[in-house]
């Protein structure tokens, strides 16, 4: 099963890290990514640029509405994602819990919908 894991982080928390703390967190994250890649569970991972570069697009009444930044009013923003292919939800949750930034952020774990259902989108 494939699961998308979205890493929510507070930019202020990351920016407050000392250089040594940042270097340690970065090295730990890269090592974890390498271990997931080596055991075959990691499909894809990327960090995202600052939320200051984000735009939110909606279409209402046929008109495109673009808002700078994220739509949600929250301190934590999606900092990146990792897509894993594992045997079940419990394994995905375990991998998410071991992601280094889970200690100060949030990792949302959601199964991938391999095919869009014909009946309706959400049940």
Confirm whether 96 is domain-assigned.
yes
Confirm whether 95 is domain-assigned.
yes
Q: What is the CATH number of the domain that holds 66?
A: 3.30.70.1060
Is residue 122 predicted with pLDDT exceeding 70?
Answer: no
- Strands 55-60 and 106-111 turn out to be unpaired
Task: State the average pLDDT over residues 45-67.
Answer: 84
Confirm whether 123 is domain-assigned.
no
Confirm whether 14 is domain-assigned.
yes
Report the 10 Å Cβ neighbour count for 49: 9
CA–CA separation, 51 vs 108, rounded Å? 17
Q: How many domains does the chain have?
A: 1
- Which residues, including other chains, have CB under 8 Å from residue 32's CB and lie 6 or more apart? 98, 99, 100
3-state secondary structure of 20: helix
Residue 5's pLDDT is 93
Enter the pTM of the model: 0.81
Confirm whether 84 is domain-assigned.
yes
CA–CA separation, 66 vs 112, rounded Å? 27
pLDDT greater at residue 8 or residue 76: 8
pLDDT greater at residue 48 or residue 40: 40
Confirm whether 120 is domain-assigned.
no
Confirm whether 107 is domain-assigned.
yes
Domain extent, residue 61, equals 2-111
Confirm whether 118 is domain-assigned.
no
Phi-psi region of 64 (alpha: psi -120 to 50; beta: other; left: phi over 0): beta
């Amino acid at each position: 099963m494939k699961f998308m894991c979205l890493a929510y982080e507070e930019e202020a928390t990351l920016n407050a890290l000392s250089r040594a703390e940042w270097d340690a967190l970065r090295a730990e994250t890269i090592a974890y990514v390498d271990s997931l890649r080596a055991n075959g569970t990691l499909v894809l991972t990327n960090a995202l640029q600052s939320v200051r570069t984000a735009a939110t697009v909606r279409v209402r009444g046929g008109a495109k509405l673009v808002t700078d930044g994220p739509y949600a009013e929250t301190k934590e923003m999606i900092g990146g994602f990792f897509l894993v292919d594992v045997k079940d939800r419990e394994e995905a949750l375990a991998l998410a819990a071991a992601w280094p930034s889970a200690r100060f952020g949030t990792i949302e774990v959601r199964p991938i919908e391999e095919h869009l259902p014909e009946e309706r989108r959400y049940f």
